[in-house]
Chains A and B, each alone.
Chain A
Amino acid sequence: MVSVTLRVRRQVAGEGRWQVYKVEAASEKATVLDLLLKVKEEQDPTLALRYSCRMAICGSCGMVINGRPMLACQTKLSDLGSTDISVEPMWNYPVVKDLVTDMGEFFDKHRRVKPYMLRREEEIFEGGDEFRQRPEDVERYLDFAYCIFCGLCYSACPRVAENPEFLGPQALGQAARWIFDSRDRGAQERMRIVDGEDGLWSCHYIGSCSEVCPRGVEPAFAIQLLKMRAMRP
């Protein structure tokens, strides 16, 4: 057993405070999510946090752990190298309660880049056959398609903090995901949306988005590729 001190940022109706919980972990392999759920079930059922798959694929449990935006379900005690853990809600989002943030605007920005197949709709819905792609065509966008909408990149981005109108790394990364897909025909339309002050050019290539992405999407790289495309005569 490992004794852990969890300092959790609580917030209800706009009032914030830190609350300290002592919790026993079965081993160093316990995740921060395991510990928070233990607190919720055994000590304090009023604690609120999002979680679901517990295998780093649903994107629910983004939070700031020891000063870094991470998924609670894939952060083990052994990764942190400490039994003194602080947990806060993700930065750059309004807080609903405790560790639960309001992701409405984040989802809206994602929608603004038209993150779906742009092609004649009859062809998509009634087409019958597949649009073929060679393995190398898939490689061009596959890394960007791994986005799980967890919002960590947006939380880590200093430019989002400075300019709330900035579309942000997630939405821009998803614009790239579709623009580089050989089946899609909407590159120009999407470039018009992202090629602006609050789009690509708000990014200063700080790279914190890529650093915190739990799925290796590298939004910073995607944005640089789109900038190059925008500069092309």
Chain B
Amino acid sequence: MDLYKYDVVIVGSGIAGLRAALQAAWTGRGRLSIAILTKVHAMRSHSVSAEGGMSAVLYPDKTGDSLDLHAYDTVKGSDFLADQDAVELLVRLAPEEVRLLDRLGVPWTREPDGRIAQRPFGGMTIPRTTFAADKTGFFIMSTLYNNVLRFDKVHIYHEHFVTKVVIENGEFRGVVALDLKTGELRAFRAKAGILAAGGSGRMYRLTTMAHSSTGEIYGFALREGLPLKDMEFVQFHPTALVPSGILISEAARGEGGYLVNREGERFMQRYAPQRMELAPRDIISRAIVTEIMEGRGLTDPESGMGHVLLDLRHLGERKLNERIPFIRELAIKYVGVDPLKEPIPVRPAVHYIMGGIHTDTYGRVLDVGGNWVRGLWAAGEVASVSVHGANRLGSNSLSECAVWGRLTGEEAAKYSMGLAEPTIDESFRESVKAEEKRIYDGLLHSEGGTVSVYEVRRRMQDIMEDHVGIFRHGSQLGEAAAMLKRLREEARSMRLDDRGKAYNQNLRDLLEVDGMLDAVMAVVAGAYARTESRGAHYRTDYSKRDDANWLKHTLAYMRGGSLELAYVPVRITKWQPEERKY
């Protein structure tokens, strides 16, 4: 196996990973060796699909906005589960990030005087969502990717699928990755590591997220003994296109779109009379599902899916074409509906995982005892800092990815500058050899697997969709846990049909599903244990928020092959929990 040495290795090439690479390279003034490992081509990570925008307080003097207001909106949106020191850091650094992205080349949509334009978004009391038409994520991604190319010592390893994070004695040592093109395994020994591998919408059947957003890294983290935080909080975006789940951005409602039921009623007036269509996503998603369950929805003839309608006709052609052209294009292209003439069929779909790898405020990865796993950081959706708590506000994730990409990139660079060249010692070689054996002998060359990878994945997605959805109940969650446990056992003999080395996607798919099966258990276990309703986690058998018992973060971790739960307090600085009304 090839062995490589780097100062910093970054897993993932979305906005968090690329921003981290850029900051690490700049902090080291181009002298640090930095590897970006990504299972796709680096410019294709799921961040490209982010549409609506990036939150930041840019011109407080002109708009009356303030950092405190942004922070309060975020904390309230999180149903008071966010760590408030982290939220304060987010809102303080987000404006700097928007301006840096401007200087790097993002084509922000502008006001006539040259200032950066901002639009309203759900749960935000003042328009502070900065945007580049409705392809904001794409433009940030391509700008970051392009600017990373200015540094010769940042090496991009496209289509390198990380199979293992090597941690020894509480310290990060490196990663092992499968080069999809050649089928070779490569070991990367590094002084510092940043996990920025994104989310896991594909745990579910219907999601706005890319096929690549599978989240096996959560499972791999559990195997290394790392705790996952708050995994039961899964965000459903209210408006995914029916039946594909393709995202129809919240920008559509930010620009003035209506949600209507089959009777043509703007039903949000019964759920969030003040904020209407710009209430937070958890509330709107529950409202839509309630409308459908109570018979006021519509049914897609092809898929049988229940849905409601997103009406944009009153916005007019100019606004559609200038502010949300991609939404118009997607609706025309995929369902044959021109939003100028007809409303769009939409329903909620999985969109973001609030939970993730447990970190402190600065993105340092923590063990279950709260100790830093030296040399390891996590940033972006894969991490849970936590700024989003029980429910993320739209446009806070791009800010999160940029801010923690920057923070972790800078920290990792400084940390590695203080260390001597890493050695490849016997124990690292042993870890690498064991991984080689697992992948090649255990999977690629082993005979006798029986069940199809895709069959297992489908069943996992069905269980999650049908039992761990927007409305949850203890008995359903218990059933899901039992079913997933059985599936986990069955999946130990998944069948590999492709035995070749070059671009073996079947092997990649197997490794993904294998990691996901561990990760979903953390979602279900956290949801089963949490006997309250908070943000995106809604229990029909415990429909109230219970601050006395549950104002705390869940940690799920593996011990002796089984999943255990522990809890840590929420950090509150300024805002005491109050009733959440919109």
- The answer to the question of B564 belonging to the interface, with a C-beta cut-off of 8 Å to chain A, is no
In Å, the complex CA distance between A125 and B101 comes to 10
**Per-residue 0/1 for B87-130: is the Cβ within 8 Å of any A Cβ (1 yes, 0 no)?**
00000000010111011110111111111100000000000000
Given A53-B48, A55-B246, A127-B103: A116 touches B116 (CB 8 Å cut-off): no
29 contacts between A and B (CB under 8 A): A13-B502, A42-B454, A44-B497, A45-B454, A45-B505, A45-B506, A46-B497, A47-B505, A51-B211, A52-B40, A52-B46, A53-B44, A55-B247, A56-B333, A57-B135, A58-B40, A96-B503, A98-B503, A116-B104, A116-B149, A119-B103, A131-B103, A133-B110, A137-B114, A138-B109, A146-B135, A149-B44, A149-B142, A181-B105
Best-surrounded residue of A114, A125, A137 (most CB of chain B within 10 A): A125
Q: Name the contact of A134 in the complex, choosing from B26, B114, B147, B211 (C-beta under 8 A).
A: B114
Q: Does B4 contact A (CB under 8 A)?
A: no
Alpha-carbon distance between A132 and B112 when the two chains are bound, in angstroms: 11
- Closest A residue to B496 by beta carbon equals A45
A45, B498: Cα distance in complex, Å = 7
User: Is B49 close to A, CB under 8 A?
Assistant: yes
- Interchain pairs with CB closer than 8 A, number: 168
CB pair A115–B110 under 8 Å, yes or no, is no
In the complex, what distance in Å separates the CA atom of A163 from the CA atom of B100?
39
CB interface residues, A 52-79, toward B, < 8 Å = 52-60, 74, 76
Instruction: Give the CA-CA distance A73 to B310 in the complex, in Å.
Output: 24
Q: Are B147 and A41 in contact (CB under 8 A)?
A: no
What residues of chain A lie closer than 8 Å to B108, measured between beta carbons? 133, 138
Task: Tell me, in angstroms, the Cα distance from A134 to B108 when the chains sit together.
Answer: 10
| A114–B44 CA distance with the chains assembled, in angstroms | 20
Given contacts A52-B44, A149-B41, contact A183 B105 (CB under 8 A): yes
List which B36-54 residues lie within 8 A (CB) of chain A: 40-41, 43-46, 48-49
With A45-B454, A55-B247 in contact, is A138–B107 under 8 Å at CB?
Answer: yes
Chain A: which residue is nearest B503 at the CB level? A97
A111 within 8 A of B: yes
Mask of B308-342 contacts with A, CB within 8 angstroms, 1/0: 00000000000000000010001001111000000
Q: Which chain A residue has the least Cβ–Cβ distance from B98? A: A130
Complex CA–CA separation, A201 to B324 (angstroms):
37
Q: Is the CB of B502 within 8 A of A74?
A: no
Distance of B344 from chain A, by nearest CB (Å): 14
* Contact A53:B46 (CB < 8 A) given known A45-B498, A138-B107: yes
Interface residues of B in 453-507 (CB under 8 A from A): 453-454, 497-498, 500, 502-506
Give the contacting residue for B142; candidates A47, A107, A147; CB below 8 A.
A147
Complex Cα gap A146–B96 (Å): 25
